[in-house]
Structure formats: structure tokens, C-alpha cells
Amino acid sequence: MTVNIDLTGKTALVTGSTQGIGAAIATGLARAGARVAINGRTAASVQEAAKTLRTSVPEADVVEVAADVASDEGTARALDLLPAVDILVNNLGIFGSRPALEISDEEWRRYFEVNVLAAVRLSRSYLPGMIERGWGRIQYIASDSAVVIPAEMIHYGVSKTALLGVSRGFAKAAAGTGVTVNAVIAGPTHTGGVEDFVYELVDKSLPWDEAQHEFMRLHRPQSLLQRLIEPEEIANLVTYLASPLASATTGAAVRVDGGYVDAIIP
């Protein structure tokens, strides 16, 4: 028996998809046949990411959505460019280390605006159309930090905790409609931004392989994978949850965390 994920005829928007996990998710959805909207703040970054996607998946149908969806104006622009979607992956997020007592109100607000409210606005905008059509998928890319709040960035962790609640709430709003809503708890993942973050916490003179090992040993010792997760590994789960195969999975916080969260159930 083979698993065949076919998203032909479906349109997907992946926010923050010009690099890292978002770009990997966009590629995974495109390979499954979806029409994929690449999103980023600038036209140049979106064009470059779209070019890369078309190279990786020559048959891909790619839409370019240059808009800062962390703002009301940017969200309105995204909705003008893409009035309806079948799959919404709320991937946009920011992170960075800061001692708890040094996080200002302004920074707390920024993290919630980008990591939480951007996803809320888009979900509120796209969910009614999905419900009317009787099919849809909404996902929120959360983090192990939602469950195991990191001491070095509690503002980030708490914003991801909020996403778990947002996901469960919208799943209830979509109950019985054919639309599923889930959160994906991603573990420590290897991206360019994470490489920078790792070097904030370990000796900058270390080669990358040694720096990664030291970071996992000192700051993520409970990982059962004992390495950073590759973005494509996150994308595999997201692509499955976006498919008809995952029709009975909704209201869930599904883990692809390398066993980082020390719990028997998700």
C-alpha cells in the first residue's frame, strides 16, 4: 500500500514562506499538486523564493503574494491578491533570545502581533469561505517552546502557546463543516535564522556541526533526536495534514519535535 497525497485543484497560502520552514512547506504542497502562494514582506524576496520553487518543482503553479500580513494593510493586500484559499498554513513567526526581565511591553506586543494576530486575521478571513465550500485546511506552525517555555525567550514561547489555543478555538468554530484546523508543534529546526540563534548561545568560533551539538547538549538536552530537525521533515507532516488523508484529524496539536516534549500524549 502506498500513500498518495494529491492536492490537485487546491490553493494554498503559506505565510512567511520565502525561506526556512515556510519555503519547505510551500515546496511540499507544490509537489503534491497544490497551487501555492508564496508570501513575504518584499516583492524581491517573494520573487526569488518563487523562482527557487519553480526550479525545484518545474510544474508548480505559484502565486506571488508580497504583503506584510502582520499588519492590517498587508492582510488586506494579501486578501485582494488571493481572495480564497483551500489550505492556509500560518507559518509566519519571529524569534530571538532576550532575558525575561528585559523584554519590554513593546516587544511583547510585537511578538503577539506577528506570531498570533497575523494568523488570527487570516483565519477569520478565509475560514467562512472554506466552510461554505465544505472543505478546507488551516494549520498553525507552533513550537516545542509552546509547551516547554524557554528561559531565554519566554515572549516567543508564550506567543506559540497562544497559537495552540487559537487553533483549538477555530477548530471548534469549524466543527462538522469538513474543515479541519490543527497546530503543528515543530521541534528545534535547522534554518538560517536558527543558525544565528545557536551562535548567540554557544561559542561563535565553533564549526557548525560542533556548534549544533553543543546547542542541543546545553539548551535542548531532552531531544530524543539529538539533532536539529530539517525543514523538509516539518513539511512532510504539514503536507499530510493538508490532504484528504487527514480528514479525521482536527483540533489537534500534532508533534514533529524529535521527541523534545517529554510527554506520552501530544
Amino acid identity, position 240: Y
CA distance 54 to 67: 20
Residue 189 clears pLDDT 90, i.e. is over it? yes
Which whole number is the average pLDDT over 14-35?
98
Cβ(217)–Cβ(64) below 8 Å: no
What are the grid coordinates assigned to 137, written together? 485546511
Task: Give the residue numbers annotated as catalytic, written as ranges.
Answer: 156
Residue 114 clears pLDDT 70, i.e. is over it? yes
Q: Is 129 helix (H, G, I), strand (E, B) or coil?
A: helix
Residue with cell 524529535: 258
**Helices and strands, number each (H, E), in the chain:** 9, 7
CATH 3.40.50.720 domain position(s) in the chain? 11-189+230-256
pLDDT at 263: 87
Is the Cα torsion angle 167, 170, 174, 179 positive or negative in sign? negative
Is the Cα torsion angle 134, 136, 142, 147 positive or negative in sign? positive
Residue 192 clears pLDDT 90, i.e. is over it? no
Residue 1 clears pLDDT 70, i.e. is over it? no
Phi first, then psi: what are they for 219, rounded to 5°?
Answer: -115, -15
pLDDT at 265: 80
CB-based burial of residue 264 (10 Å sphere; 0-12 exposed, 13-18 middle, 19+ buried)?
exposed
- Considering the chain, what is the average pLDDT of its residues? 96
pLDDT at 2: 62
Q: Which residue has the higher pLDDT, 3 or 72?
A: 72
CA distance 40 to 112: 18
Nearest to residue 103, comparing CAs of 161, 155, 158?
Answer: 155
pLDDT confidence band for 264 (50 / 70 / 90):
confident
The region of weakest confidence among 2-6, 21-25, 126-130 is: 2-6
pLDDT confidence band for 220 (50 / 70 / 90):
confident
Condensed to tens digits (0 to 9), the pLDDT of residues 62-75 reads 999 999 999 999 99
What's the length of the chain? 266
pLDDT at 197: 84
| 260-265 own/partner pairs: CB under 8 Å, 24+ apart | 260/144, 260/148, 260/187, 260/188, 260/220, 260/222, 260/223, 260/224, 260/225, 261/144, 261/147, 261/148, 261/185, 261/187, 262/222, 263/147
Residue 170 clears pLDDT 70, i.e. is over it? yes
The second-level CATH assignment, the architecture, of 11-189+230-256 is: 3-Layer(aba) Sandwich (3.40)
